[in-house]
Amino acid sequence: MCHLVIYIMPFLEVIRMNTLIDYCMKKEHLNRVVISTFDHDYTVQDIEQLNNEFLDMLGPTSDLTGKRVALLVPQTLAYISLVFVINKLGGTVIPLSPQHREGDLSAILSSASPHMIFTIKHLNGMPYSDVMKEWIRGNNAECTLFESEEGMDWKRTDFEGKQAVKDTFDRHFILFTSGSTGVPKGVVMGQEVIIHHMGIIPRLINGQEGDRYLHIPPQTVAFGLVGILCAIHLGYRVAIPNQFDLPKIMNMMNRVGVQKVVSTPSILKGMYNLSKAIDPLVFQNIKECYLAGEMVNPGEVNEFTLMEKTKFIGVYGITEAGGIMTCDLRGELEWDVDEVYQFKVVEEELFLKSPAIFTCYYNQLGMTKEVLQEDGWFQTGDLAYLTPEHKVVIQGRKKDVIKKGGQQVIPGEVEKTLENYKSVKQAAVIGAPHSVYGEQVVAYIVAEQDVNTKELYHYCANKIAAYKVPDHIELIDEIPMTSGKTDKNTLRKRFKNKEKTLKK
């Protein structure tokens, strides 16, 4: 059975600009502060100046058309300027998260085969430059590597080797997420799609000139990147934490005069609990709070007693389609879809159609065809139904992706890491409810011999990002199976029963 709703409204009109710089940078906003960090405020003019410096560094006539450029640059001003410059020169931007570890990065680099890489040398003990060089040499890749301590002064090294194939498109973005088996998926979207997203996001978060946001979404994901571009384009201000340091975030909120918050529920809880102890006024003054990245339980926002007058709005989005819909978190969790999307429910799965939908998965034609139909309908993988008022109610996920603290964890990737450990014969990973992070990662393993779980935790921490490391590891005699597949429902029940027993 198919339920279809089409808004009879014009799609977002996008004027095809030459570059993102042409679209985003407005003369009337040149002196306006649009980005704040713990210790710096940046105007549009600051961004423009750094754009020119990076253009001079690369050479104003450099042609990056068809070339892929990877960015591992945590410093926000440098990162956003490099995005602008690479786009201007015709290149495709590949953002890389500083949360990635060696295994994650190597898999993404092998999938993307970048022609050029910008990376900081090291962060939190991770030698990113060395990881990049090892990948380049190990793959005999022709690649230009730029290294920097903080993102401002760059050292260039040109490596000779096998030349990577150029793409037939230009001025695109490839945003990597984990595939269902842990293999990276590169979500490809053109400049026009990004500009569509820049029309949608301000509607979802009520973004207006002069607003001051605490902006938590990572700048390497679509929501985070587009949020910064919107601030530059529309003239509002985003306060972006340099790192997850709660006292410094509180100080920055006070300094900037934050009125609105965009966050995940788990990070909001951490900030709120600290604020209650040291500075309750920080959150009492918040007018609007937008929560995304994790599911929120009905009535959960009522726990924020200092924010009784705050408007709480849920924002639902996925990388392939951007920000899609919102709901009032103080009421029923029924979602209003943005005007730019057509939507329908087919066999209990939510489908979307819009100019804001991604183009394809990079070099993954088969995977693209599984979710993107020839007529443009995108299968989200979320189970849903429509109310009589044509609102969307999300019931669950078709696949077993774990969403922990706003980050996506693919069980198959964690299982593979565990099974590569010398004493582990088989592993199964599930998501289980968590009061702070939304979900936690629980691993069940069958061992060939005695396993020291502390050593296994340490092993995982060195192989995958910290948020992917199992929160609980339990040894069992055998993995339950059904129809030839791991019976994860049985494992979920097992964990739930154990939790109940421990609480007695």
Looking at the predicted structure, is the pLDDT value of residue 353 above 80?
yes
Tokens representing 359 are 């183009």
Looking at the predicted structure, is the pLDDT value of residue 161 above 90?
yes
> What distance in Å separates the CA atoms of residue 340 and residue 196, rounded to the nearest whole number?
9
**3.40.50.261, 1.20.1300.10, 3.30.300.30, 3.40.50.1000: CATH of 402-503:** 3.30.300.30
The CATH topology of domain 2-11+191-397 is Rossmann fold (3.40.50)
Instruction: Say if residues 142 and 159 touch (Cβ distance below 8 Å).
Output: yes
110-152 pLDDT tens trace: 999 999 999 999 998 899 999 999 999 999 999 999 999 999 9
Question: Which pLDDT value is given to residue 18?
Answer: 86
Please report which confidence band the pLDDT of residue 318 belongs to, taking 50, 70 and 90 as the band edges: very high
Please report which confidence band the pLDDT of residue 184 belongs to, taking 50, 70 and 90 as the band edges: confident
Looking at the predicted structure, is the pLDDT value of residue 14 above 70?
no
360-418 pLDDT tens trace: 999 999 999 999 999 999 999 887 899 999 999 987 667 777 889 888 888 878 988 99
Strand-strand pairing, 68-72 and 116-120: parallel
Where are any strands of DSSP class E within 197-259? 212-215, 237-239
> What distance in Å separates the CA atoms of residue 464 and residue 459, rounded to the nearest whole number?
9
Please report which confidence band the pLDDT of residue 6 belongs to, taking 50, 70 and 90 as the band edges: very low
> What percent of the chain stands above pLDDT 90?
73
Strand, coil or helix: what is 404?
strand
**3.40.50.980, 3.40.50.1110, 3.30.360.10, 3.40.50.2300: CATH of 63-170:** 3.40.50.980
> What distance in Å separates the CA atoms of residue 434 and residue 447, rounded to the nearest whole number?
27
> What distance in Å separates the CA atoms of residue 414 and residue 419, rounded to the nearest whole number?
9
Each domain of the chain, given as residue ranges in start order, spans 2-11+191-397, 63-170, 402-503
Mean pLDDT, to the nearest integer, of 272-294? 91
Looking at the predicted structure, is the pLDDT value of residue 173 above 80?
yes
- Tell me whether the CATH fold assigned to 63-170 matches the one assigned to 402-503: no
Mean pLDDT, to the nearest integer, of 93-97? 97
Looking at the predicted structure, is the pLDDT value of residue 16 above 80?
no
3-state percent helix, strand, coil for the chain, nearest multiple of 5: 35, 30, 35
Please report which confidence band the pLDDT of residue 17 belongs to, taking 50, 70 and 90 as the band edges: low
Please report which confidence band the pLDDT of residue 4 belongs to, taking 50, 70 and 90 as the band edges: very low
